[in-house]
Amino acid sequence: MTQSTQIVIGVLAIQGAFREHIQHLVKAIDELGLQEKLEISVFEVRDEETLVRCDALVIPGGESTTMSLVAQRLNLLEPLRQFIASGKPAWGTCAGLIMLSSSLQNKSCDQQLLGGLDIETTRNAFGRQLDSFIADLDYSKFIPGLTAFQTVFIRGPVISKILPPSPGKPKVEVLASLPEERGSQIIAVRQGDILGTSFHPELSEDVSFHKWWVQDFVLSKITIT
Ligand SMILES: NC(=O)CC[C@H](N)C(=O)O
């Protein structure tokens, strides 16, 4: 537990939908009324100096091959791996989920992963006709009251295997799967303080997912003084 009144949430801002995540996080923090109790900032992360100041990190959706290439060019791969291994809260959406996976199917050559989630993910896993779609799905098992959340999939990955946890790490928990009529694939997992979703909550109007992540992952690690 960290004792603090200052919290920095970083959003990896080298490619993809980072602006939308920042807007959603700012709105979520506002709706939760957190600014009255603590100083909480959301930063774009493009370098190691900013990354090391962060208490939690979001890796957005986009294109995981490009993201891995740009991270390599910016010398960010190792610092990102260290951040994820440090146990600080993280959330990867879509390409971000791919980056956080320990194993990947349909990997392009040279594509680098960060690890953090003991899962095998399959890129571009939905058939051509289904590769992008929006569905109202029920997340009320872990987000109270969220029974019909507009869920956006864009050439998304699915979690194709849950792997045994690495030494010292908790088990991977399956949070959500597609309904049977859509194929039952796993679309959201949690392993300790790391969340992975194969869809884009930052592209829905509703900020419920962001509020839940801030409360259950970021704030749960911090004692407000
Ligand atoms: N919307 C997304 O993030 C798509 C992910 C993309 N298909 C990839 O492999 O990285």
Q: What is the CA radius of gyration of the chain?
A: 16
Residue in 63, 104, 113, 132 to alter for ligand 1 test, most ligand atoms within 8 A of Cβ: 63
How far is CA 22 from its chain centroid?
13
- The neighbouring-strand residues paired with 109 are none
pLDDT at 80: 98
pLDDT at 2: 52
Identity of the amino acid at 184: S
pLDDT at 19: 98
pLDDT at 126: 81
Q: 158, 122 in Cβ contact below 8 A?
A: yes
- DSSP codes, the chain: -EEESEEEEEEE-SSSSHHHHHHHHHHHHHHTTGGGTSEEEEEEE-SHHHHHT-SEEEE--S-HHHHHHHHHHTT-HHHHHHHHHTT--EEEETHHHHHHEEEEESPPTT------EEEEEETT-S-GGGSEEEEEE--TTTSTT--SEEEEEES--EEEEEPPPPTT-PPPEEEEE--GGGT--EEEEEETTEEEESS-GGGSS--HHHHHHIIIIIGGGEEE-
Q: For residue 65, which atom of ligand 1 is closest to its CA?
A: 10
Q: Fold for 2-124+157-224, please state it.
A: Rossmann fold (3.40.50)
pLDDT at 224: 59
pLDDT tens for the chain, 225 residues long, are 554 578 999 999 999 999 999 999 999 999 999 888 789 999 999 999 999 999 999 999 999 999 999 999 999 999 999 999 999 999 999 999 999 999 999 999 889 999 999 999 999 988 666 789 999 999 999 999 999 999 999 999 999 999 999 999 999 999 999 999 888 999 999 999 999 999 999 999 999 999 999 999 999 877 655
88 lines ligand 1 (CB under 6 A): no
pLDDT at 36: 81
Atom 1 in ligand 1: residue holding the nearest Cα:
154
Q: CA–CA separation, 72 vs 9, rounded Å?
A: 22
123 lines ligand 1 (CB under 6 A): yes
Residue 52: phi and psi, rounded to 5, are -70, -15
